[in-house]
């Protein structure tokens, strides 16, 4: 269950700009995972997630934020 939740969490942050643990909790809930803020906090720490400069959304470490000025449309 933990591994699956963390996999879904990574999928979410790869595709959405999620800025808070509460927004992560809500999106996980929509995917069928009941997780507390404390659980999400532990997942963030274990996965090494960071908040990116600019918009403050969570991302994997070492991943550059997309630049909307150079992104393909």
Dihedral pair phi/psi, residue 42, rounded to 5°: -65, -40
Q: Encode pLDDT of 28-53 as tens digits.
A: 999 999 999 999 999 999 999 999 98
Dihedral pair phi/psi, residue 26, rounded to 5°: -65, -45
Give dist(CA 69, CA 41) in Å, integer: 32
- pLDDT beyond 70 at 68: no
pTM of the predicted protein model: 0.81
Q: Encode pLDDT of 5-20 as tens digits.
A: 999 999 999 999 999 9
- pLDDT beyond 60 at 55: yes
Tell the burial category of 58 from Cβ atoms under 10 Å away from its Cβ (0-12, 13-18, 19+).
buried
Please tell me the class of the 2-59 domain.
mainly alpha
CB 27 within 8 Å of CB 14: no
Q: Six-digit token pair at 32?
A: 């069928």
Confidence of residue 71 (pLDDT cuts 50, 70, 90): very low
Domain locations along the chain? 2-59
């Amino acid at each position: 269950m933990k591994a699956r939740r963390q996999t879904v969490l990574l999928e979410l942050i790869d595709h959405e700009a999620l800025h808070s643990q509460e927004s992560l909790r809500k999106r996980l809930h929509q995917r069928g995972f009941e997780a507390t803020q404390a659980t999400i906090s532990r997942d963030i720490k274990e996965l090494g997630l960071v908040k990116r400069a600019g918009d403050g959304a969570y991302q994997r470490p070492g991943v550059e934020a997309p630049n909307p000025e150079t992104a393909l449309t």
